[in-house]
Amino acid sequence: MAKRPYQPKDYFFRKAKEEGLRARSAFKIDEIAKRFSIFKKGQTVIDLGAAPGGFLQIILNEVGPTGQVVGVDLAAIKPLGRPNVKTAVLDVTADDFAKSLEALMPGPVDVVVSDLAPKTTGVKDVDLARSHRLAGIALDISRTRGKPGGHFIAKLFMGGDFDQFRADVRAVFKDVKVVRPDATRAASMEIYLVGLDKR
């Protein structure tokens, strides 16, 4: 039997269009948020790798008008039409990134979300290392700026130093979950690590 061709307009793609969401990936953060009760009204949230804004749409609905959300990406994010969200074009690997992020959202935050992904090379070890480096940057932000009792969500590729990274997350959070949301494409290596209840 012939392998079915890749279908970009799958169920989650169509559902996102129907619900006015910018990306099918919005269902990933929605599933994680509901499973672990991540967000609450009035929270402060940082979303890394936020373009085109699908995660931001879900997060904004969860934290409500009293919440404050910042989304950053290498690509510009089209305005979301909400007064309580700021977006910026920033490189998380830049030396001054932490300072730029602090200027956008000063002080401690409740949740750090990372959907950062490297430009893949096709060389598995290289792609894994780059993925874990980006997740590590997100964890550093959560470690230094996350409030006690706060949460962390990061996408990364399974493999390589995954066990070490999970151990690093466990050192910061009381509980750690590994999640592969239903909206993840079958061929994808990605999973999400969820750190719950910051120490």
Catalytic residue among 34, 86, 119, 155: 155
Q: What is the pLDDT of residues 170-199, one digit of tens each?
A: 999 999 999 999 999 888 999 999 999 999
- Cα–Cα distance, 71 to 13 (Å, whole number): 22
Is 1 a member of any domain? Answer: no
Q: 3-state SS of 50-106?
A: CCCCHHHHHHHHHHCCCCEEEEEECCCCCCCCCCCEEEEECCCCCCCHHHHHHHHCC
- Cα–Cα distance, 50 to 30 (Å, whole number): 14
Is 6 a member of any domain? Answer: no
The parent domain of residue 131 ranges over 11-198
CATH code of the domain covering residue 50: 3.40.50.150
Is 71 a member of any domain? Answer: yes
**Which structure tokens are listed for 167?**
């151990």
Is 2 a member of any domain? Answer: no
The number of distinct structural domains making up the chain is: 1
Give the contacts of 105 (CB within 8 A, at least 6 positions apart).
Answer: 44, 46, 68, 70, 86
Q: What is the pLDDT of residues 54-89, one digit of tens each?
A: 999 999 999 999 999 999 999 999 999 999 999 999
Q: What is the pLDDT of residues 116-144, one digit of tens each?
A: 999 999 999 999 999 999 999 999 999 99
Q: Which helix (H) or strand (E) holds 196?
A: strand 190-198
Instruction: Work out the mean pLDDT of the chain and round it to a whole number.
Output: 94
Is 185 a member of any domain? Answer: yes
Please check whether residue 53 is in contact with residue 71, taking contact to mean a CB–CB distance below 8 angstroms: yes
Is 36 a member of any domain? Answer: yes
- Cα–Cα distance, 71 to 69 (Å, whole number): 7
Indicate if 124 belongs to the active site: no
| pLDDT computed for residue 9 by the predictor | 56
Is 4 a member of any domain? Answer: no
Is 23 a member of any domain? Answer: yes
